[in-house]
């Protein structure tokens, strides 16, 4: 009934006959994690490729049609085109690697997805995790469908004033150059539907992004049928107004479920990433009652057994809670339709620790899903502790929440040149075996010279990237020279470089290293062993303390006593992250324990040989082995003590190790740690290992159980 074809994206220009697959590849994010895919677009026109911001659709629109025609005569280009086309076809049509015991289809719901900078529908870690999960599901051939939101105004673009204050500017998603397709209805119009149960009615239309073999469907409320207030529902990520936020989550959960039904996508496993889309669980109950004719209790039982809830926060206070009045306003018809009374309906969101507070979305996830997980082993302990009254009826120490530690998609986050070098050592097929630690022991064969040279290339690229950004600001915005200094124009690729790039918020303590400026100055300005620090990260627009921390860092970077060796890089996002995680020497992470549920940027750094230096929070207690980075402080947090521990580490271990050279003028001790970092982190903290756990612990057991019901 629903039509889907690539011509639905009228953003694409007409391509010459014989080059049609270029369009198909441009509309599938597969190319973003395949070096030969990237190279194909670069070959078309290297200069325009850069100018397009590495966005193939923009490139194909920028390029004059004669130039595209002329490509048909370039033998070298055509050879590469045919080769990449063959790779792409093989990938898309490959038999799944789990063909033996394929799980039932999985619908993966999340409020944000971090996939590529041409689709700004993410704010941070949660989104990148969701994006990496879709990519890995595609690589593994798992039958997954993603459901999320189109945010026409994206997240905030960060602009920092001369005074260091973050001013918000919205990044508007350019629907004409984003790799998105309209989903069409049977008449060829944009598929639009009414979200059930919101009164007055709200409509959403549907877009699709191809993530390799996995489709991601995005709901968009910024359409003519809606009045301005409703058009705004999906305009930004995480709106602060509670009423609008509730409407957003109704559209995501209930509207998202409805969209799958309209698309005729049959699925049996519902995976909810964080509480935002948890209303999908109610809609699923309703579908079991109304379509499958189950009793209410049987429907609830079925939903509980076939749905998965992943929590990402170590704080009850950080979960979404809606007043009972607001809930009644939207759901009073709904509970009647389900045959429930108000009390029973509200009980699904009742937090025993705060029963008056309202309806809690995380509690809803826990209560309507039997399979629940936290995102690192440490976070699982914390989660079991903070929600223990919810599971008071369960036996002691048996709170049913498991830990599945996050992982990062290796082909996305590993530098292409490093990947090529790993191909040479582990064999071309290593990605298929990437979760096997034995395979990675062969990294020992990588020569010092090779590792060091590659790292230096990444470092120079990062410094050039930062300087080029400042140069553009210098010429376009006439910024003050002190601002140019603070934004990194004086960075030096030969100096030991510490990176701190993450959300600017109090618990992450971005300014911990500024605790004692005199001591820091001695470390930074050491005559023969200097150090530089690169900061990046956005503060949430409503996070005043976060903005103040950012301002303090920016002002310190403007202070001439640090001689241009502290830099703040504006507008952290997917593109900047790739430069920083590869180009820094040390990746600093000093959250207050136990506030970091997992953290993934440190994994991205570590697999590239950028050494992780972190408090023992999130994934690091599992990842740190004494030789692959450093641990700051002890099991609990104290700012003064942790700062002291960090300075001592820098003075006594990190700086000397970096500047102690062997007879080849290379820091052999440092390089040994880089090798150990790649060897120990890549197999355990890649998304392959993570997805194998989701598959083994949740997807396959659920599939087996469902199969027995059907017989």
Ligand X SMILES: *Cc1c(COP(=O)(O)O)cnc(C)c1O
The contact set with ligand X (CB under 6 A) reads: 124-125, 128, 502, 572-574, 577, 599-602, 604
**DSSP secondary structure letter of residue 197:** T
In the numeric block, the tokens 């595609």 are attached to 138
The minimum distance between CB 680 and ligand X, in angstroms, equals: 18
Distance of alpha carbon 264 from the chain centroid: 28
Nearer to ligand X, 590 or 600 (CB): 600
Sign of torsion over alpha carbons 266, 272, 275, 281 = positive
Nearer to ligand X, 491 or 504 (CB): 504
Nearer to ligand X, 206 or 536 (CB): 536
The minimum distance between CB 125 and ligand X, in angstroms, equals: 3
Nearer to ligand X, 569 or 650 (CB): 569
Name the CA radius of gyration of the chain, rounded: 25
- Distance between CA atoms of residues 260 and 156, nearest Å: 29
Nearest 10 degrees: Cα torsion 93, 95, 96, 99: 150
- Distance between CA atoms of residues 193 and 191, nearest Å: 7
Alpha helices by DSSP H, listed for 251-323, are 256-263, 280-290, 296-306
Nearer to ligand X, 592 or 600 (CB): 600
The minimum distance between CB 599 and ligand X, in angstroms, equals: 4
Nearest 10 degrees: Cα torsion 510, 513, 515, 520: -150
Is residue 551 within 8 A of residue 462, CB to CB? The reply is no
The minimum distance between CB 270 and ligand X, in angstroms, equals: 25
The distance in angstroms from the start CA to the end CA of the chain is: 30
Strand partners, 271: 108, 308
The minimum distance between CB 649 and ligand X, in angstroms, equals: 19
The minimum distance between CB 337 and ligand X, in angstroms, equals: 40
CA nearest to 549, candidates 595, 512, 518: 512
The minimum distance between CB 116 and ligand X, in angstroms, equals: 11
Let me know how long the chain is: 711
DSSP string, 66-106: HHHHHHTT-HHHHHHHHHHHHHHHHHHHPPPTT-TTPPPPE
> Which backbone phi and psi does 505 adopt, to 5 degrees?
-150, 155
The minimum distance between CB 221 and ligand X, in angstroms, equals: 25
Distance of alpha carbon 20 from the chain centroid: 31
CA nearest to 229, candidates 257, 203, 256, 255: 203
Q: Which two tokens stand for residue 160?
A: 């920092």
The minimum distance between CB 602 and ligand X, in angstroms, equals: 6
Strand partners, 568: 535
Q: Which two tokens stand for residue 2?
A: 């629903």
The minimum distance between CB 489 and ligand X, in angstroms, equals: 22
Nearer to ligand X, 135 or 258 (CB): 135
Q: Which two tokens stand for residue 398?
A: 């048996």
Contacts of 188 (CB under 8 A, 6+ apart): 3
The minimum distance between CB 114 and ligand X, in angstroms, equals: 7
The minimum distance between CB 448 and ligand X, in angstroms, equals: 29
Nearer to ligand X, 213 or 502 (CB): 502
The minimum distance between CB 685 and ligand X, in angstroms, equals: 12
- Distance between CA atoms of residues 3 and 5, nearest Å: 7
Nearer to ligand X, 103 or 599 (CB): 599
**DSSP secondary structure letter of residue 651:** I
The minimum distance between CB 667 and ligand X, in angstroms, equals: 26
CA nearest to 629, candidates 615, 643, 645: 615
Nearer to ligand X, 141 or 583 (CB): 583
Q: Which two tokens stand for residue 401?
A: 């929440």
Nearer to ligand X, 603 or 691 (CB): 603
Nearer to ligand X, 158 or 703 (CB): 158
- Distance between CA atoms of residues 270 and 144, nearest Å: 10
Is residue 482 within 8 A of residue 489, CB to CB? The reply is no
Nearer to ligand X, 18 or 53 (CB): 53
Nearer to ligand X, 124 or 253 (CB): 124
Nearer to ligand X, 56 or 599 (CB): 599
The minimum distance between CB 600 and ligand X, in angstroms, equals: 5
Is residue 353 within 8 A of residue 395, CB to CB? The reply is no
Q: How many C-beta neighbours within 10 Å does residue 398 have?
A: 8
Nearer to ligand X, 258 or 604 (CB): 604
In the numeric block, the tokens 């900047």 are attached to 576
Is residue 230 within 8 A of residue 170, CB to CB? The reply is no
Is residue 377 within 8 A of residue 403, CB to CB? The reply is yes
Sign of torsion over alpha carbons 378, 111, 6, 171 = negative
Task: Kindly state the helix (H) or strand (E) to which residue 498 belongs, with its residue range.
Answer: strand 496-501
Nearer to ligand X, 280 or 607 (CB): 607
The minimum distance between CB 592 and ligand X, in angstroms, equals: 14
């Amino acid at each position: 009934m629903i039509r889907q074809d690539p011509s639905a994206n009228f953003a694409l220009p007409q391509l010459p006959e014989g080059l049609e697959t270029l369009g198909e590849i441009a509309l599938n994010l597969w190319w973003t994690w395949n070096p030969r895919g990237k190279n194909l677009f670069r070959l078309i026109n290297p200069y325009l490729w850069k100018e397009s911001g590495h966005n193939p659709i923009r490139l194909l629109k920028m390029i004059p049609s004669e130039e595209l025609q002329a490509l048909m005569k370039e033998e070298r280009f055509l050879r590469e085109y045919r080769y990449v086309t063959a790779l792409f076809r093989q990938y898309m049509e490959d038999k799944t690697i789990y063909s033996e015991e394929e799980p039932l289809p999985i619908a993966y719901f999340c409020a944000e997805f971090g996939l590529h900078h041409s689709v700004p529908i993410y704010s941070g870690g949660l989104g990148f995790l969701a994006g990496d999960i879709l990519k890995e599901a595609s690589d593994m051939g798992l039958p997954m469908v993603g459901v999320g939101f189109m945010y026409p105004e994206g997240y905030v673009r960060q602009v920092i004033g001369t005074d260091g204050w973050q001013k918000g500017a919205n990044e508007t998603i350019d629907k004409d150059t984003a790799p998105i397709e309209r989903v069409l209805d049977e008449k060829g119009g944009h598929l639009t539907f009414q979200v059930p149960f919101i009164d007055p009615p709200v409509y959403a239309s549907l877009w699709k992004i191809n993530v390799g073999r996995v489709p991601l469907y995005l709901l968009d409320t910024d359409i003519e049928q809606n009045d301005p207030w409703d058009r705004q529902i999906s305009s930004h990520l995480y709106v602060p107004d509670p009423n609008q936020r509730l409407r957003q989550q109704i559209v995501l959960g209930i509207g998202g479920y409805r969209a799958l039904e309209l698309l005729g996508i049959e699925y049996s496993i519902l995976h909810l990433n964080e509480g935002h889309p948890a209303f999908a669980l109610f809609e699923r109950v309703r579908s079991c009652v109304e379509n499958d004719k189950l009793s209410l209790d049987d429907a609830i039982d079925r939903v509980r057994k076939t749905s998965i809830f992943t929590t990402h926060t170590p704080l009850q206070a950080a979960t979404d809670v809606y007043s009972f009045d607001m809930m009644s306003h939207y759901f009073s018809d709904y509970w009647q339709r389900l045959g429930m009374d108000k009390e029973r309906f509200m009980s699904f969101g009742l937090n025993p620790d705060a029963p008056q507070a309202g309806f809690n979305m995380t509690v809803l996830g826990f209560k309507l899903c039997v399979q629940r997980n936290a995102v690192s082993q440490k976070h699982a302990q914390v989660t079991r502790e903070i929600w223990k009254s919810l599971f008071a009826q369960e036996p002691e120490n048996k709170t049913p929440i498991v830990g599945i530690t996050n992982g990062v998609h290796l082909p996305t986050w590993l530098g292409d040149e490093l990947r090529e070098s790993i191909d040479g050592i582990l064999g071309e097929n290593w990605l298929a075996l990437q979760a096997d630690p034995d395979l990675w022991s062969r990294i020992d064969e990588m020569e010092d010279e090779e590792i060091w040279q590659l790292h230096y290339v990444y470092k120079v690229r990062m410094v050039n990237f930062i300087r080029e950004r400042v140069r553009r600001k210098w010429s376009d915005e006439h910024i003050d020279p002190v601002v140019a200094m603070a934004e990194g124009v004086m960075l030096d690729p030969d100096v030991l470089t510490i990176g701190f790039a993450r959300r600017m918020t109090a618990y992450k303590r971005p300014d911990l290293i500024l605790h004692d400026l005199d001591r820091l100055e001695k470390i930074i300005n050491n005559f023969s062993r200097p150090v530089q620090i690169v900061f990046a990260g956005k503060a949430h627009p409503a996070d005043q303390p976060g903005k103040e921390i950012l301002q303090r860092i920016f002002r310190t970077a403007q202070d001439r006593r640090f001689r241009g060796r502290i830099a703040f890089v504006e507008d952290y996002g997917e593109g900047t992250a790739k430069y920083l995680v590869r180009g820094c020497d040390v990746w600093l992470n000093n959250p207050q324990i136990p506030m970091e549920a997992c953290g993934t940027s440190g994994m991205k750094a570590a697999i590239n040989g950028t050494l992780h230096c972190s408090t023992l929070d999130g994934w690091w207690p599992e990842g740190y082995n004494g030789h692959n980075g450093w641990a700051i402080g002890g099991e609990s947090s104290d700012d003064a003590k942790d700062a002291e521990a960090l300075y001592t580490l820098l003075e006594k271990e990190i700086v000397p190790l970096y500047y102690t050279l062997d007879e080849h003028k290379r820091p052999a001790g440092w390089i040994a740690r880089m090798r150990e970092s790649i060897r120990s982190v890549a197999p355990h903290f890649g998304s392959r290992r993570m997805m194998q756990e989701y598959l083994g612990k949740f997807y396959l057991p659920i599939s087996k159980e469902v199969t027995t019901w059907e017989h």
